[in-house]
């Protein structure tokens, strides 16, 4: 069974731009969660989608948004990028009880 | 955001030594997960625990679900250099779909 895939793996953007990251969960998994990881803040939960509906949301500004498609693939979008948005963005796919992570997208904002 | 207390924060050990780390919560959880993360990569699931008191092994790794359901422990026996990395715990409460993560234990193994 293929694991969680994320694209792109690396991204460089400048302040004020927007970015879209993509995640394909493990086949059969309907829940996708997104996390931001920075050295200072650790793993911070962004949001979780299940069957195309946002089921949980973390404490991030409205510039961070996401969606999920009928095939369970998910995208997250960050608008008006700030320097502090530089981070590793991780997507996780959940089956019944267990969560598996993708390799992450490293976003650098200049 | 909410995070679990994980200790120690970091540790240096000699190759061949055993390692112990733990995670505590103020809430009761019904699932505990343990992950290892290498630099620049996503966390890899090591062990999943679903029942209070449960003891589960994966090779040289053993994890336990605390009987109070508010803590979990991970032991690594006979450490080797490739055990280097950051270990995270994650817990989930009954009726919720969101995992809460620990702050991580950074392990460095001296050959």
Whole-number pLDDT of residue A42? 82
Asked if the C-beta of A33 comes within 8 angstroms of chain B's C-beta atoms, the answer is: yes
Question: Strand, coil or helix: what is B88?
Answer: strand
B1 falls in which pLDDT band (50, 70, 90)? low
- Asked whether the beta carbons of B65 and B86 are under 8 A apart, the reply is no
Asked if the C-beta of B31 comes within 8 angstroms of chain A's C-beta atoms, the answer is: yes
**Per-residue model confidence as pLDDT tens digits over A11-46:** 999 999 999 999 999 999 999 999 999 987 788 999
What are the residues whose beta carbons fall under 8 Å from the beta carbon of B101, sequence distance 6 or more?
A42, A43, A45, B3, B4, B88, B89, B90
**Per-residue model confidence as pLDDT tens digits over B29-42:** 999 999 999 988 99
Whole-number pLDDT of residue B97? 83
Give the residue from A26, A28, A33 showing the smallest Cα distance to A2.
A26
Whole-number pLDDT of residue A1? 64
Q: How far apart, in whole angstroms, are the C-alpha atoms of residue A102 and residue B99?
A: 16
Angle at CA of residue A46, ends A43 and A52, nearest 5° = 135
Q: Distance from A74 to chain B by nearest Cα, in Å?
A: 17
């Amino acid at each position: 069974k293929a694991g969680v895939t994320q694209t792109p793996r690396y991204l460089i953007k400048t302040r004020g731009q927007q970015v879209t990251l993509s995640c394909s969960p493990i086949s059969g998994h309907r829940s996708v969660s997104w996390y931001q990881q920075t050295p200072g803040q650790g793993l911070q939960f962004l949001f979780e989608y299940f069957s195309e509906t946002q089921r949980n949301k973390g404490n991030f500004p409205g510039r961070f948004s996401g969606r999920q498609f009928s095939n369970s693939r998910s995208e997250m979008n960050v608008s008006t990028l700030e320097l502090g948005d530089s981070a590793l963005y991780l997507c996780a796919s959940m089956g019944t009880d267990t969560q598996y992570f993708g390799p992450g997208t490293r976003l650098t904002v200049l | 955001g909410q995070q679990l207390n994980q200790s120690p924060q970091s540790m240096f050990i000699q190759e061949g030594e055993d390692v112990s780390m733990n995670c505590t919560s103020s809430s009761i959880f019904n699932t505990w997960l343990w992950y290892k993360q290498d630099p620049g990569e996503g966390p890899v699931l090591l062990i999943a625990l679903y029942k209070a008191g449960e003891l589960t092994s994966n090779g040289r790794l053993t994890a336990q679900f605390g009987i109070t359901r508010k803590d979990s422990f991970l032991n690594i026996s006979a450490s080797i250099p490739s055990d280097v990395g950051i270990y995270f715990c994650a817990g989930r409460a009954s009726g919720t779909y969101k995992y809460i993560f620990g702050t991580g234990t950074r392990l460095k193994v001296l050959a």
